[in-house]
Amino acid sequence: MNKKLAPNFIQLTQDACLKAFWRKSALRTFLKQHRITDARLSAWQDESKRDFIYRLFDELIQIKDNKGHEIILELARSLAEIKHFPDLENWEDSSEKISAAYKAVERLRWEVDKLNQQVRDEKESMRRRKEAEEKRQASIAIRQSLEKLAQELNCLVIKQGTQEGGYAFEKWFYNLVNFFEIIARPPYNADGRQIDGSLTLDGTTFLIETKFTKEKIDSPAIDIFNSKVTSKADNTMGIFVSMAGFNEGAIKTASRERTPLLLMDYSHIYNLILSGILSLPDVIGRIKRHASQTGEAFLSINGFSC
């Protein structure tokens, strides 16, 4: 706590202290349990309870950094929890004393509950602000990373249609996959044989084929990739990524009932993923759902609004 208590709150705490305890010894014990030092208590000699409590609270209020206000709040919260008043029993006017104590504690309890709610509201507000700031910073980091990936891809354009560009684009695509923290296995060589890369998403393994040609992909390339995919386990599908796109024949060849192929082109990469509209997993999931529903392996970006 770093705020001062309202004067009314302090007065209610004083009143509850005076009415909840009749004997000085009982009040001393209660105060000692709440960080009131022996030095302060030993100074209580001939003063009445009321005079001592008023003097004590005045001293507490003067402590630097509102530390005294913290102690008063602790006293108030403990007093607000009192249900029985044993120190007020067995007196001739016990019923009057206990009734007055109940009323004093009840008034204080209402203020304590209100203050506790304010504290909870402030903590929740701080939590939300912190969460919003963390999301904002995360969004900035994501946007900056996507911008960097976009710049890297733009730099590859001059190499489009070359073998060097094809390898560079393949490497770039797996950097994109890693950015979205997708389980993946980039292409590798085993005994001189090229092994296709893959990624796993939502329990499905996707074989990956990337092309960085200047011409659109045609049907023969689709047939070759399809044979690779269908030769694998039943739960294997394929994602063919062509920056130049696909001609109508290729899309038709890839599209059939229960097709295992999904087709992505530059528009998915630039207009959806690198622009930050959708993540790579979202794009793959949307095309896969479209293929499951229609048998069509390609979904243009215009269809993503459906």
DSSP-derived secondary structure for 129-185: HHHHHHHHHHHHHHHHHHHHHHHHHHHHGGGTTSHHHHHHHHHHHHHHHHHTT-EEE
Contacts of 188 (CB under 8 A, 6+ apart): 195, 197
Provide the total of helices (H) and of strands (E) in the chain, helices listed first. 11, 7
Classify 198 as helix, strand or coil. Answer: strand
Q: What CA–CA distance (Å, rounded) separates 48 from 41?
A: 13
Q: Work out the widest C-alpha separation in the chain, in whole angstroms.
A: 106
61 neighbors 14 (Cβ within 8 angstroms): no
Q: Dihedral of CA 223/228/232/237: which sign?
A: negative
Q: What is the CB neighbour count within 10 angstroms for residue 25? A: 10
Return per-residue pLDDT of the chain as tens, 306 residues. Answer: 568 899 999 999 999 999 999 999 999 999 999 999 999 999 898 899 999 999 999 999 999 989 999 999 999 999 999 999 999 999 999 999 999 999 999 999 999 999 999 989 999 999 999 999 998 998 898 899 999 999 999 999 999 999 999 999 999 999 999 999 999 998 876 566 666 789 999 999 999 999 999 999 999 999 999 999 998 888 899 999 999 999 999 999 999 988 999 999 999 999 999 999 999 999 999 999 999 999 999 999 999 974
Domains of the chain: 7-123 (no CATH), 160-305 (3.40.1350.10)
Residue 234's identity, in one-letter code, is: D
Q: What CA–CA distance (Å, rounded) separates 166 from 153?
A: 12
Q: Which of 223, 227, 247 minimizes the C-alpha distance to 236?
A: 227
As a dihedral over the C-alpha atoms of residue 44, residue 50, residue 55, residue 58, rounded to 10 degrees, the angle is: 140
Whether pTM > 0.75 for this model: the answer is no
